[in-house]
């Protein structure tokens, strides 16, 4: 028996498709809903710089990057912060980290709500959230991206895949990226600085293999060292 063709509905679009944004223009920033700008403005999120929004949008192709509720097919209408406001210490430094592309994910409303409120514990296990008082920086913490899998996000809207050793069921390990040259010459300054940041510089030394867990002399599993890509 002949079946009538299904009406085309909700075709999955490839990431990076331009169609989506054409059909539904996306607000570049959180524009005020009313003309009123005076009075208390404590609760509302600050609009992100247009450049930052554009970098995140280029990475996402306009689709939700969290994708746990929507499968990564919903239009991204909000930016979800991985680390909340004020992270990274007092002053401007925390704010700068907070609004870097590595700290932001393009999100649909449902997924943003999920990681911020509904399933927060899961969000930490997948890198959608990063502990506010932690010492790892957003570009170092793997995140499960709806389109790209386990990745490290950079601060220019780029991404790369994350070493498997950094992705563990119970917690994620930060990834330190060093240059081929540093590695070949045995220049471990960057590793030492990371150990200092994590409070393990004086434990008695370390050795590491690329893309494997670096275990401190004290026994703590601290991070994974990998090579910078595309040098
Ligand atoms: Zn979504
Ligand atoms: Zn949020
Ligand atoms: Zn240690």
> Mind listing the pLDDT tens digit for each residue in 158-200?
999 999 999 988 889 999 999 999 999 988 889 999 999 999 9
Mean local confidence (pLDDT), 94-116:
87
Nearest to 129 by CA among 147, 70, 155, 117: 117
Provide the pLDDT for residue 218.
94
pLDDT at 10 over 50: no
User: Ligand 2: distance of its center to the CA of 83 in Å?
Assistant: 9
- Are the C-beta atoms of residues 210 and 227 closer than 8 Å to each other? yes
Dihedral in degrees, nearest 10, Cα atoms 46, 50, 51, 57 = 100
CA of 140 to the centre of ligand 3 (A): 19
On whether the CB atoms of residues 154 and 139 are closer than 8 A, the answer is yes
138 CA distance to ligand 3 middle (Å): 22
Encode pLDDT of 149-163 as tens digits: 999 999 999 999 999
pLDDT tier, 134 (very low <50, low <70, confident <90, very high otherwise): confident
Report pLDDT digits (tens) over 34-51.
444 444 445 556 789 999
Measured in Å, residue 220 CA sits from the centre of ligand 2 at: 31
Q: What confidence category does residue 5 fall into, taking pLDDT thresholds of 50, 70 and 90?
A: very low
| Residue-level pLDDT at 85 | 59
Q: Which pLDDT band, with edges at 50, 70 and 90, does 144 fall under?
A: very high
Buried b (16+ CB within 10 A) or exposed e, 160-180: bebbebbbeeeebbbbbbbee
Q: Is the pLDDT of residue 6 over 90?
A: no
Residue 195 and residue 216 in contact, taking contact as beta carbons nearer than 8 Å:
yes
The tokens for 18 are 């331009």
pLDDT value at 219 more than 70: yes
What integer pLDDT is reported at residue 206 of this predicted model? 80
**pLDDT at position 106 over 60:** yes
Identify the nearest ligand to the CA of 128 by its number. Answer: 2
Predicted-complex ipTM score: 0.92
Ligand nearest to C-alpha 68:
1
Question: What distance in angstroms lies between residue 12's CA and the mean position of ligand 1's atoms?
Answer: 13
pLDDT in the model for residue 19: 40
Lowest mean pLDDT among 1-10, 63-72, 93-102, 143-152: 1-10
* Shortest-distance ligand to the CA of residue 145: 1
pLDDT reading at 74 higher than 80: yes
For residue 135, how far is its CA from the centre of ligand 3 (angstroms)? 14
Chain mean pLDDT for the chain: 81
Task: Please report which ligand is nearest the Cα atom of 216.
Answer: 3
Residue 78 CA: which ligand is closest?
Answer: 2
Comparing CA positions, the residue from 69, 93, 65 lying closest to residue 81 is 65
């Amino acid at each position: 028996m002949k079946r009538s063709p299904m009406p085309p509905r909700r075709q999955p679009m490839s990431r990076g498709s331009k169609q989506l944004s054409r059909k539904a223009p996306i607000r570049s920033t959180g524009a005020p809903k009313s003309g009123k700008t005076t009075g208390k403005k404590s609760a509302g999120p600050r609009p992100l710089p247009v450049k930052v929004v554009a970098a995140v949008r280029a990475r996402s192709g306009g689709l939700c990057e969290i994708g746990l509720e929507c499968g990564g097919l919903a239009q991204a209408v909000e930016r979800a912060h991985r680390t909340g406001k004020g992270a990274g210490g007092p002053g401007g430094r925390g704010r700068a980290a907070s609004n870097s592309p590595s700290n932001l994910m393009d999100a649909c409303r449902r997924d943003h709500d999920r990681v911020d409120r509904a399933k927060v514990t899961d969000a930490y296990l997948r890198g959608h959230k990063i502990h506010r008082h932690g010492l790892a920086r957003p570009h170092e913490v793997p995140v499960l991206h709806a389109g790209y899998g386990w990745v490290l996000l950079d601060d220019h809207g780029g991404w790369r895949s994350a070493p498997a050793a950094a992705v563990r069921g119970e917690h994620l390990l930060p990834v330190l990226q060093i240059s081929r040259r540093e590695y070949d010459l045995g220049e471990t300054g960057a590793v030492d600085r990371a150990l200092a940041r994590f409070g393990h510089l004086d434990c008695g030394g370390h050795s590491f293999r690329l893309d494997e867990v670096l275990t401190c002399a004290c026994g703590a599993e601290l991070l994974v060292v990998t090579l910078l890509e595309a040098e």
